[in-house]
């Protein structure tokens, strides 16, 4: 992509309404535009990151054996009357009437609708286990939408629902989600800590939230700081192996980690003082096991091997897809702008032409662009007729992890400069070597 032809409405001034760094940088980098309180347009740069995050979520869900589908944003109220949640949900639910005067709502979540799909088509234990998920817009008429995409009213969520024949199988689904979420967040360059949580309006008594530590987080968290060192890394996990999956979950949930809702000071006091930490966190996901709460009220039953009939065992599992952009920026930035982890960056590399109009520099940049594209890596090429300082400032603000700087003087020596956004360290390389290095770096992030 050539910057001269792109749509990147960068702001020079700090927007007054933005109280936290991620919101400030998303506005300044031309990623989002507010259309109403808690409702945003995703401008091209923000949209690219959002799509990239969705892609990682899909890949990890499919790896865990979960099946994508797509349910609508608008739902009939009658489904929610069956579960009893139509009245319980209160002011957070956006209620709408259609022209026939029928009660509709903009879905805040989809437990009822997925249960309706299940009961229409499945009635035997032989069709289980089954986990269906989608990535779809939700609406919650939050009392205080704030911090940009972090607490929106309209927001994108991945929500998945498992159906199992008994409690053990449903707990395996819960564990499978925990592990797949750990992998998902790691690929985004995040450390998200599973913490025992409270279930709220979704229900059930077994639930974990995933928190990214950040001073601007909305939740107070209490934890043993050794949890921050746990990593899945390159482990190859067999998601069908119940014992293996349970063991990984145990590894990640044994050390103390709680939100204020479930914090137990007496237990926390037993954590060695040197490791006892109180901080703040951003909730980027939550998993629930709630058994037969919805299947019983909505009549979703399956036959069992011994000829009986039982309400199907369920859980639901959510990732805050749009919130993740804010969380990643909170966790990865400096005073010049965003620093995207390679896994989610909108473009893998930026090209800065120090002397637009210089025949050698223009040709070298075009050649780099072509060579990178041939390797499936689309660079953002700043081909504007601008001062070098302004080009560097834009690149630093939008946070591409790598930058190739091309100028006539370097080219006389046969070199360009490859710079890491994170460390600021530059290397002089031939154009070919620079392309190879970038390709090598991203080989690990596909
Ligand atoms: C699980 C999936 C649920 O709704 N039902 C389906 C369950 N869980 S949840 O915890 O309420 O939401 C899942 C994740 O969505 C994100 N989230 C939000 N993101 C931005 N703005 C909001 N207002 C908002 N509300 C929830 C969070 O990341 C949450 O963990």
Residues 286-326 have pLDDT tens digits of: 999 999 999 999 999 999 999 999 999 999 999 999 999 99
**Integer Cα distance of 299 and 115 in angstroms:** 9
- Residue 192 three-state SS: strand
Query: According to the model, what pLDDT value does residue 204 have?
Result: 74
* Residue ranges around ligand 1 (CB below 6 Å): 109, 140, 142, 151-152, 155, 157, 159, 202, 283-286, 288, 316-318, 320, 322-323
Query: According to the model, what pLDDT value does residue 200 have?
Result: 78
**Integer Cα distance of 282 and 148 in angstroms:** 13
pTM (2 d.p.): 0.97
> Tokens standing for 363?
């040709």
Assess whether pLDDT exceeds 80 at residue 446. no
Cα of 285 from ligand 1 centre, angstroms: 7
Give, in order, the Cα–Cα distances in Å from 157 to each of 54, 190, 204, 222, 261. 9, 18, 20, 26, 23
Tally of CB atoms within 10 A around 426 = 12
How many residues make up the chain in this entry? 446
Mean pLDDT along residues 156-170: 98
Q: Sorting pLDDT into bands at 50, 70 and 90, what band is 374?
A: very high
pLDDT tens per residue, range 403-428: 999 999 999 999 999 999 999 999 99
pLDDT tens per residue, range 329-364: 999 999 999 999 999 999 999 999 999 999 999 999
Task: Select from 20, 318, 325, 326 the residue to mutate for testing ligand 1; criterion: most ligand atoms less than 8 Å from CB.
Answer: 318
Question: Between 166 and 202, whose confidence is greater?
Answer: 166
Assess whether pLDDT exceeds 90 at residue 201. no
Query: According to the model, what pLDDT value does residue 421 have?
Result: 98
Q: Name the residue among 211, 156, 215 with its Cα closest to residue 182.
A: 211
Q: Name the residue among 143, 78, 147, 61 with its Cα closest to residue 113.
A: 78
CB 39 within 8 A of CB 411: no
CB 159 within 8 A of CB 339: no
Measured torsion, CA atoms of residues 420, 424, 429, 430, in degrees rounded to the nearest 10: 60
Mean pLDDT along residues 190-215: 89
Give, in order, the Cα–Cα distances in Å from 119 to each of 60, 112, 387. 27, 11, 63
CB 303 within 8 A of CB 322: no
Residue nearest to atom 3 of ligand 1 (CA): 318
DSSP state of 15: P
**Integer Cα distance of 238 and 261 in angstroms:** 33
Residue 142 CA: which ligand 1 atom is closest? 23
Q: Name the helix (H) or strand (E) containing 121.
A: helix 111-121
Cα of 320 from ligand 1 centre, angstroms: 6
Task: Select from 157, 163, 214 the residue to mutate for testing ligand 1; criterion: most ligand atoms less than 8 Å from CB.
Answer: 157
Task: Select from 180, 286, 325 the residue to mutate for testing ligand 1; criterion: most ligand atoms less than 8 Å from CB.
Answer: 286
Query: According to the model, what pLDDT value does residue 308 have?
Result: 96
Query: According to the model, what pLDDT value does residue 202 have?
Result: 74
Cα of 417 from ligand 1 centre, angstroms: 43
Cα of 231 from ligand 1 centre, angstroms: 24
Residue nearest to atom 17 of ligand 1 (CA): 320
Residue 152 CA: which ligand 1 atom is closest? 21
Q: Which domains does the chain have, with CATH numbers?
A: 3-338 (3.30.930.10), 350-443 (3.40.50.800)
> Tokens standing for 251?
């590894």
- Mean pLDDT over the full length of the chain: 97
Cα of 327 from ligand 1 centre, angstroms: 14
Sheet order of strands, 416-420 included:
380-382, 350-353, 402-406, 416-420, 426-429
**Integer Cα distance of 34 and 213 in angstroms:** 26
Query: According to the model, what pLDDT value does residue 445 have?
Result: 86
Cα of 325 from ligand 1 centre, angstroms: 14
Q: Sorting pLDDT into bands at 50, 70 and 90, what band is 203?
A: confident
Query: According to the model, what pLDDT value does residue 100 have?
Result: 98
Query: According to the model, what pLDDT value does residue 199 have?
Result: 78
């Amino acid at each position: 992509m050539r910057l001269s032809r792109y749509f990147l409405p960068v702001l020079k001034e700090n927007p007054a309404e933005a109280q936290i760094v991620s919101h400030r940088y998303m506005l300044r980098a031309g990623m989002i535009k507010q259309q109403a309180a808690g409702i945003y347009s995703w401008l091209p740069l923000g949209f690219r990151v959002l799509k990239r995050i969705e892609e990682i979520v899909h890949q990890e869900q499919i790896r865990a054996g979960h099946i994508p589908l797509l349910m609508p944003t608008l739902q009939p109220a009658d489904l929610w009357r069956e579960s009893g949640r139509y009245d319980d949900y209160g002011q957070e639910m956006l209620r709408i009437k259609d022209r026939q005067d029928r009660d509709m709502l903009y879905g805040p979540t989809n437990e009822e609708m997925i249960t309706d799909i299940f009961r229409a088509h499945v009635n035997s234990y032989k069709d289980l286990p089954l986990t269906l998920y989608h990535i779809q817009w939700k609406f919650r008429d939050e009392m205080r939408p704030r911090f940009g995409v972090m607490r929106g009213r309209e927001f994108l969520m991945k929500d998945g629902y498992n159906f199992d024949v008994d409690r053990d199988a449903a707990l395996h689904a819960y564990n499978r989600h925990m592990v797949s979420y750990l992998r998902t967040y790691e690929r985004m360059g995040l450390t998200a800590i599973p913490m025992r949580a409270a279930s709220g309006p979704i229900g059930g008594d077994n639930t974990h939230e995933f928190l990214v530590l950040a001073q601007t987080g909305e939740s107070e968290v209490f934890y043993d700081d050794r949890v921050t060192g746990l990593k899945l890394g390159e482990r190859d996990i067999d998601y069908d192996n119940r014992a293996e999956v349970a063991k990984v979950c145990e590894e990640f949930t044994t050390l103390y980690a709680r939100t204020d809702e479930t914090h137990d000071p007496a237990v926390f006091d037993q954590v060695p003082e040197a490791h006892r930490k109180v901080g703040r966190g951003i909730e980027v996901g939550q998993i629930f096991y709630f058994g037969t709460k919805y299947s019983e009220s909505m009549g979703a039953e399956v036959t069992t091997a011994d000829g009986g009939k039982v309400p199907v065992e369920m859980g639901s599992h959510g990732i805050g897809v749009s919130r993740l952009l804010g969380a990643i920026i909170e966790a990865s930035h400096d005073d010049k702008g965003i620093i995207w982890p390679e896994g989610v960056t909108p473009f893998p590399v930026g090209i800065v032409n120090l002397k637009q109009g210089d025949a050698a520099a223009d040709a070298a940049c075009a050649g780099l662009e072509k060579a990178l594209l041939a390797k499936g890596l689309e660079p953002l090429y700043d081909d504007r007729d601008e001062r070098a300082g302004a080009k560097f400032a834009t690149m630093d603000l939008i946070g591409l992890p790598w930058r190739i700087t091309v100028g006539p003087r370097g080219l006389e020596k046969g070199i360009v400069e490859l710079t890491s956004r994170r460390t600021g360290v530059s290397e002089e390389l031939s154009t070919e070597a620079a392309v190879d290095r970038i390709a090598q770096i991203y080989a690990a992030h596909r």
